[in-house]
Amino acid sequence: MKKLIFIGLLFSFILFSVNAEGFYVDFGAGIGKATTIIDGIDVTQGYDEDSFDIGVELGLKVGYAPFDFPIYFAGVIGAMGYRITDTNIDSIQFNSYLFGPGVIYYPLPFLQIAASAGYSIAVNKMSPQDDLDKNYKGFAWDVSAAYDFGGSRFYGFMLGARYFWARNILEEMEAAQYSSLISVFARYRFR
């Protein structure tokens, strides 16, 4: 009986995959406005606006659409980071990473909407090296919308906007760190 169920599921998967949209990959980078709040206090508070850098984001999505419908299920790796510099300290670098599943949807051939959520790691570094150099575990999610310029059915270039949010618990301080980034990005995609 188990073999019969397994063969039936395998046959169904193959049958649905014949008309599948197929594989999907995109990667790229963006820039935007980043914030980090630790224990309710914005870490940029008290610094001149010129003392912190623009937030940078990096992203990679690898997915597959098992049906003849433009919804892709993906694995996502995302990152955001920015740096604060001041005369009293060399710099503080705030980085947050996202590892998890995501969904990519094309309601129109030129419009992509995506969302993902998953495991987060925050890596905060102070230069010269200090006790901020730790990995903090937590949760992160992001949403994005992009205009897909196409190029061809298989590969193309996208421009879009993304919102990234992460919550990590700082073990030594026993405080919550919230990091976010609103960015514009450019990505290369293959589907």
Q: What is the pLDDT of residue 19?
A: 44
pLDDT digits (tens, 9 = 90+) for 149-178: 876 667 889 999 999 999 998 877 778 889
Q: Measure the CA angle with vertex 119, ends 114 and 122; round to 5°.
A: 105
Amino acid identity at 44: T
Q: What is the pLDDT of residue 130?
A: 60
pLDDT digits (tens, 9 = 90+) for 13-35: 444 444 456 899 999 999 999 88
Q: What is the pLDDT of residue 17?
A: 44
Query: Exposure pattern of 109-118 as b/e (b: 16+ CB <10 Å)?
Result: eeebebebbb
Low-confidence ranges of the chain (pLDDT < 70): 1-21, 46-53, 87-89, 128-134, 151-153
Task: Domain 21-190: give its CATH code.
Answer: 2.40.160.20
